[in-house]
């Protein structure tokens, strides 16, 4: 008998044999677990599709259209192979390859399809004529979006759409009107710092190629061109929403009317900053975004009412399928609500899930909640793949996925539990328990996304929802539904007054809860890796049912560790080259001077977890900062940082400083510093974020955005004042 080294090791260490037996059994155990969760496999199709979309947005440079066609072809071949193969593992691999490739190709082709010219530099005043697509109050004016533009100075290179704030002449600013005005236009703004919110990307997918403000009043003009039937339908819907919003605000002036309009038509422009902050800080901000709560209260309330009315007529109830009639009528009403609400991502998700349930009733089929959620994700990503990187999509699906997972667990628990007699107040306690559970679970599930996108955390959301949701369910939304029904007859005033009463109660709750000690906490900006790991871990836990679902705790833990270990930059430079912030010896982020770019300063402080307004975050001599009429000098972590505002300061700064930041051009003789940032480099790179490590870590807004169609650098001086984007020509 030949004794090998493995056998000898087993004899020497008795525990090794047990470990080897367990190791040999892992593949078989894993295979049985995967097969036991086989019915959950389709839930991962939208996840794979979303991963392909995420891969497109994560690329540092824009791929050519041919790459999308290749990805689509590979996806088609992989899908065909998945259908024909007998091996389960290979079929799963091919299916995953297919959906990821399809998601990548779809995102790229949509970006190409929406390509349109983008303003490169501030221009104007320009004469602009166009069709009003949308209008909403904004500060002391009205913010409109114009399409079908005629701009003589740009000829055929005019943007497809522009967004302009207009003051005065509100009667002319109605969706569907053709107007003429003069306006100053600028490119859609880039992020205030690397990793910040990219409005330019969002504007690209809405085909908005410029933003600005109008000079003087707008005047109506005859139509410049014939619209297609789709454009006429879109304009008619926008005009209907505008008229409904006007009727709502006439009955409920002020911020209360703004909230009522947000609940019915999705227009949020008239809500005061104070009321919006109170709802946000009390965990009630979700009531302003039309989603499952609103759609469920209106549609399912109507379903119950219609069915009750039909059931009260014996001749109808005994001869006809009244449940299906009620479901069909409710589906039509839900479709109307989706249309007048603006069809945002949360409302579309809620509509798809609700319509799935109603269609299941029509065909006598059970409604599968998690599958309807997966269907909603596929529909939204197919229509708007760019919504994947928006907070509305991420927060909406995180909340609903967690609630559906809890509901599935509750059903399993009830099925295995003996029935007990119901108490007198069982319905009330069950309702309150449901609000508490949904508020708690939804708050926990969305907390990482709130922290990532908004740099804040709320702590009393459960209390706020317990106090406000009964009012929302029994007063506000029923009155809103009655108001919409009565609006064609001009009888909406009283239902809207009742709705306003409910809104005032919710605002009182929001003010009370948001004023409690420790209601909110500022949070330091999270890296993308943190939210990606948390999303993967959460999906793994929510979508599987077998015990291996708890493996998702590992990426969750890694994600939170990455978030809490993240360190903010030591130096921040705004795109104007004048606004500069430095982290001082006490770890606080301080502005060297009162900020010229107030928006960037506010964003920096918020992303650094500071609730301090910019005026109170200006450094003093006690922070080690010395400023005079030509610049500032600060010592931070054995590094001398000089911020020059006049050319006279450059010679001394270049001789003594480690890092020089100059709002004026620096000539080539400034070679002593380790890093020189001047007016021209800032113009090319946007804002800067610098970490004082060894070696120095330098990030720029342009580098973070990459060479994408929504982030192309401005042309060289003397060239054209606009840029026409051809994605296939990008590197």
* pLDDT score at 59: 93
Q: How far apart are CA 595 and CA 616, in angstroms?
A: 11
- Whether the predicted pLDDT of 496 surpasses 80: yes
Contact 156, 224 (CB under 8 A): no
* pLDDT score at 452: 92
Q: What Å distances lie between residue 204 and 54, 386, 438, 710, 722, CA to CA?
A: 17, 10, 36, 6, 15
- Given the structure tokens 């699906």, which residue do they identify? 397
Of residues 677, 455, 458, 446, the one with CA closest to residue 566 = 455
Contact 358, 331 (CB under 8 A): yes
pLDDT mean over 435-451:
85
- Whether the predicted pLDDT of 437 surpasses 70: yes
Q: In what order do the strands lie in the sheet with 571-573?
A: 589-591, 580-583, 571-573, 688-691, 697-700
Token pair listed for 432: 């309150």
- Helix spans in 312-390 (H): 314-317, 322-340, 345-362, 369-383
Q: What band does 171 get if pLDDT is binned at 50, 70 and 90?
A: confident
H or E stretch covering 395: helix 391-415
Q: What band does 728 get if pLDDT is binned at 50, 70 and 90?
A: very low
DSSP assignment of 660-678, as one string?
Answer: EEESS---TT--SSSEEE-
β-pairing, 639-644 vs 659-662, is: parallel
Q: Return the bridge partners of 151, or none.
A: none
φ and ψ at 716, to 5 degrees? Answer: -65, 155
pLDDT in tens, 43-85: 999 999 999 999 999 999 999 999 999 999 999 999 999 988 8
Contact 480, 245 (CB under 8 A): no
Burial of 717 (0-12, 13-18, 19+ CB in 10 A): exposed
Q: How far apart are CA 562 and CA 559, in angstroms?
A: 5
Of residues 216, 220, 138, the one with CA closest to residue 175 = 220
Average pLDDT of the chain to the nearest whole number: 85
* pLDDT score at 348: 86
Token pair listed for 464: 């706020």
DSSP assignment of 211-222, as one string?
Answer: EEEEEEEEEE--
Contact 124, 184 (CB under 8 A): yes
- Whether the predicted pLDDT of 467 surpasses 80: yes
pLDDT mean over 708-726:
52
* pLDDT score at 644: 87
Token pair listed for 493: 């005033």
Q: Which of 47-56, 507-516, 613-622 has the lowest mean pLDDT?
A: 613-622
Length of the chain: 731
Contact 352, 368 (CB under 8 A): no
- Identify the top-confidence range among 28-42, 46-60, 261-275, 453-467: 46-60
- Helices and strands in the chain, H and E counts: 25, 19
Query: 21 or 652: which carries more pLDDT confidence?
Result: 652
Q: What band does 537 get if pLDDT is binned at 50, 70 and 90?
A: very high
Share of the chain above pLDDT 70, in %: 90
Helix (H, G, I), strand (E, B) or coil at 362: helix
Q: Which of 500-504, 646-650, 727-731 has the lowest mean pLDDT?
A: 727-731
- Whether the predicted pLDDT of 247 surpasses 70: yes
Helix (H, G, I), strand (E, B) or coil at 643: strand
Token pair listed for 558: 């890694």
- Whether the predicted pLDDT of 287 surpasses 90: no
Token pair listed for 147: 């399409």
Q: What are the percentages of helix, strand and coil residues in the chain, rounded to 5? A: 55, 15, 30
**528 Cβ neighbours under 8 A, 6+ residues apart:** 195
Rg (CA), the chain: 29
pLDDT mean over 133-143:
86
β-pairing, 161-166 vs 639-644, is: unpaired
H, E, C per residue of 311-325 = HCCHHHHCCCCHHHH
* pLDDT score at 295: 82
- Whether the predicted pLDDT of 12 surpasses 60: no
Rounded to 5°, the CA angle 228-722-730 comes to 90
- Whether the predicted pLDDT of 718 surpasses 60: no
**29 Cβ neighbours under 8 A, 6+ residues apart:** none
Rounded to 5°, the CA angle 45-47-50 comes to 110
pLDDT mean over 695-717:
80
Query: How far is Cα of residue 320 from the mean position of the Cα atoms in its chain?
Result: 45
- Identify the top-confidence range among 256-265, 607-616, 678-687, 714-723: 256-265
* pLDDT score at 111: 94
Give the DSSP letter of residue 720: -
- Whether the predicted pLDDT of 516 surpasses 80: yes
Q: What band does 716 get if pLDDT is binned at 50, 70 and 90?
A: very low
Sign of CA dihedral 229, 231, 237, 242: negative
- Whether the predicted pLDDT of 374 surpasses 60: yes
Q: How far apart are CA 487 and CA 615, in angstroms?
A: 47
Of residues 240, 228, 131, the one with CA closest to residue 181 = 131
Of residues 536, 580, 575, the one with CA closest to residue 558 = 536
Q: Which of 410-414, 604-608, 648-652 has the lowest mean pLDDT?
A: 410-414
Q: How far apart are CA 507 and CA 503, in angstroms?
A: 6
- Whether the predicted pLDDT of 161 surpasses 90: yes
pLDDT in tens, 102-137: 999 999 999 999 999 998 888 878 999 999 999 888
Q: How far apart are CA 63 and CA 395, in angstroms?
A: 29
φ and ψ at 299, to 5 degrees? Answer: -70, -50
- Whether the predicted pLDDT of 18 surpasses 70: no
Give the DSSP letter of residue 586: T
Token pair listed for 372: 């309807």
pLDDT mean over 469-490:
90
Query: 649 or 594: which carries more pLDDT confidence?
Result: 594
Of residues 568, 576, 577, the one with CA closest to residue 610 = 568
Q: How far apart are CA 587 and CA 524, in angstroms?
A: 13
Q: What band does 371 get if pLDDT is binned at 50, 70 and 90?
A: confident
Helix (H, G, I), strand (E, B) or coil at 171: coil
Q: How far apart are CA 618 and CA 635, in angstroms?
A: 16
- Whether the predicted pLDDT of 556 surpasses 90: yes
pLDDT mean over 687-708:
90
Q: What band does 582 get if pLDDT is binned at 50, 70 and 90?
A: very high
Q: How far apart are CA 605 and CA 723, in angstroms?
A: 33
């Amino acid at each position: 008998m030949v004794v090998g080294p493995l056998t000898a090791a087993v004899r020497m260490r008795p525990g090794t044999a047990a470990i080897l037996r367990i190791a040999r059994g892992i593949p078989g155990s894993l295979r049985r677990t995967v097969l036991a969760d086989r019915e959950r496999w389709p839930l991962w199709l939208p996840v794979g599709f979303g991963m392909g979309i995420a891969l497109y947005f994560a690329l540092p440079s824009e791929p050519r259209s041919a790459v999308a066609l290749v990805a689509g072809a590979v996806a088609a071949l992989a899908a065909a192979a998945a259908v024909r193969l007998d091996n389960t593992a290979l079929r799963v691999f091919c299916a995953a390859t297919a959906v990821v490739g399809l998601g990548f190709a779809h995102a790229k082709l949509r970006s190409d399809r929406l390509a349109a010219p983008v303003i490169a530099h501030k221009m104007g005043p320009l004469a602009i004529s166009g069709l009003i697509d949308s209008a909403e109050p904004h500060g002391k004016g009205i913010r409109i979006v114009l399409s079908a533009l005629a701009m003589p100075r740009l000829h055929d290179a005019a943007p497809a759409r522009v967004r302009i704030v207009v003051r005065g002449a509100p009667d002319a600013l109605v969706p569907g009107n053709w107007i003429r005005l003069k306006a100053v236009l600028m490119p859609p703004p880039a992020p205030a710092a690397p990793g910040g919110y990219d409005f330019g990307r969002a504007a690209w997918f809405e085909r908005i190629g410029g933003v600005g403000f109008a000079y003087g009043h707008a005047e109506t003009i005859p139509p410049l061109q014939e619209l297609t039937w789709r454009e006429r339908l879109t304009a008619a819907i926008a005009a209907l929403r505008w008229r409904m919003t006007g009727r709502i605000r006439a009955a409920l002036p002020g911020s209360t009317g703004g909230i009522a309009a947000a609940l019915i038509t999705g227009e949020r422009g008239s809500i005061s900053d104070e009321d919006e902050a109170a709802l946000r800080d009390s965990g009630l901000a979700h009531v302003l975004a039309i989603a499952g709560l609103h759609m469920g209260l209106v549609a399912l309330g109507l379903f119950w009412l219609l069915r009750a009315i039909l059931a009260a007529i014996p001749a109808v109830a005994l001869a006809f399928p009244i449940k299906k009639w009620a479901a069909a009528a409710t589906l039509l009403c839900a479709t109307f609500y989706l249309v007048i609400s603006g069809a945002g991502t949360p409302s579309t998700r809620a509509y798809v899930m609700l319509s799935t349930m109603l269609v299941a009733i029509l065909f006598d089929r059970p409604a599968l909640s998690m599958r309807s959620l997966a269907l909603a994700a596929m529909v939204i990503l197919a229509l708007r793949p760019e919504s994947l990187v928006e907070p509305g999509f991420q927060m909406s699906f995180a909340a609903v996925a967690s609630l559906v997972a809890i509901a599935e667990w509750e059903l399993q628990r009830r099925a295995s539990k003996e029935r007990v007699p119901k108490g007198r107040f069982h319905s009330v306690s069950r309702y309150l328990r449901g609000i508490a559970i949904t508020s708690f679970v939804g708050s926990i599930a969305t907390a990482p996304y709130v922290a990532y996108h908004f740099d804040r955390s709320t702590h009393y959301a459960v209390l706020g929802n317990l106090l406000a949701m009964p009012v929302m369910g029994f007063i506000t939304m029923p009155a809103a539904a009655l108001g919409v029904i009565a609006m064609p007859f001009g009888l909406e005033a009283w239902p809207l007054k009742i709705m306003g009463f409910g809104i005032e109660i919710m605002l009182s709750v929001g003010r009370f809860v948001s004023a409690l000690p420790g209601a909110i906490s500022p949070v330091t900006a999270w890296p993308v890796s943190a939210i990606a790991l948390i999303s993967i871990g959460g999906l793994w836990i929510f979508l599987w049912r077998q015990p291996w679902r708890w493996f998702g705790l590992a990426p969750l833990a890694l994600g939170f560790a990455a978030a809490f270990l993240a360190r903010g930059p030591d130096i921040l430079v705004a795109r104007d080259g004048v606004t500069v912030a430095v982290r001082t010896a006490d770890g606080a982020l301080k502005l060297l001077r009162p900020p010229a770019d107030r928006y960037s300063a506010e964003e920096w402080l918020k992303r650094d977890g500071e609730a301090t307004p910019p005026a109170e975050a200006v450094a003093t001599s006690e922070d080690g900062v010395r400023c005079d009429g030509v610049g500032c000098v600060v010592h931070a972590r054995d590094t001398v940082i000089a911020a020059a505002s006049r050319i006279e300061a450059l010679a001394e700064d270049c001789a003594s400083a480690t890092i020089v930041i100059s709002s004026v051009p620096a000539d080539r003789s400034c070679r002593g510093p380790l890093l020189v940032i001047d007016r021209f480099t800032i113009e090319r790179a946007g804002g800067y974020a610098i970490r004082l490590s060894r070696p120095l870590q330098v990030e720029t807004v342009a580098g973070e955005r990459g060479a994408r169609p929504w982030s192309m650098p401005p042309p060289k001086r003397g060239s054209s004042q606009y840029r026409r984007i051809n994605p296939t020509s990008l590197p």
